[in-house]
Amino acid sequence: MKALNASDERVREAPPVDRKTALEQTLKKRILSMEIAPGAILDEVALSDEFGMSRPPVRELIRQMAAEGYIELEANRAPRVSSMSHETLRSYFLAAPLIYAATTKLAAMIATPSEIQGLRRIQARFRQAVDEKDVDGRVFYNDLFHRQIGVVAKNPHLFPSLCRLLIDHARQAKTFYGLSNDATMQADLEEAVQQHDDIIDAIERRDPETAEQIVRSHIDLARRRMAMYTAPEGVEVQIEI
């Protein structure tokens, strides 16, 4: 477990009513950015002390985040950050094409002009993060982009599944796109940026079939990046798409 340290943002001065929200936002950010590693134990006492809260609301928040998929709870064991293993990655890549395709197609059918402009604003921040090689910003705005498509789709059955996928999506992006010495990384990022633009254009044209095709290619790009990360150096990786 990565210990909480003095360089982390403190919220002791926040009004009591805001502390739980501040803890939630900070904890989610630390999990998604891999600042707290998958499988790491969460120290309720340290969190209570850091945010100036008693333990009952901290436990309540941990239960809430467990229901959302950020944390794993087991009887008689300390809470842990949701793990990432070959099994969870396989589950992700089995489910992702179905959920992303469904939400993106729905968004293409019903998105309003103001919602499309909202996607473009998020995309502009994502592109800026890519251009500036801001890894954390890149992960954050990529996550926000796909989450907002789920919001636009307005489907209460799909949205919880999408949100759960995005937890692992963000952590994969932090891992597999975090290789500064990878000569192909920037090219893949530029392709991802273009795919985002193409998804928005398809949504704006109300073209759900094209939107689905693009988002499936987007997932395949992530799958290819994962394979390149996990293969030993010098081993040629061939991905059939």
What pLDDT, in 10s, does the model give residues 46-62? 999 999 999 999 999 99
User: Same domain for 64 and 140?
Assistant: no
Q: Which residues of the chain have pLDDT under 50?
A: 1-16, 180, 232, 235, 237, 239-241
Tens digits of per-residue pLDDT, 173-218? 777 765 545 667 788 889 999 999 999 999 999 999 999 999 999 9
Residue 5 lies in a domain: no
**Distance (Å, rounded) from C-alpha 81 to C-alpha 71?**
4
- Which of 41, 38, 35 has its CA nearest to residue 87? 38
- The overall pTM is greater than 0.85: no
Domain of residue 118, residue span: 86-230
User: Same domain for 76 and 110?
Assistant: no
Residue 3 lies in a domain: no
pLDDT at 231: 54
DSSP 77: S
**Distance (Å, rounded) from C-alpha 66 to C-alpha 114?**
33
Exposed e or buried b per residue across 210-222, where buried means at least 16 C-beta atoms within 10 angstroms of its C-beta: bbbbbbbebbebb
pLDDT at 101: 96
pLDDT at 6: 39
List Cβ neighbours of 123 (8 Å cut-off, separation of 6 or more).
141, 145, 193, 196, 197, 200
User: Same domain for 76 and 95?
Assistant: no
Name the token pair of 60.
């309540």
Domain termination residue (choose one: 63, 81, 99): 81
User: Same domain for 57 and 143?
Assistant: no
User: Same domain for 75 and 165?
Assistant: no
Classify 159 as helix, strand or coil.
helix
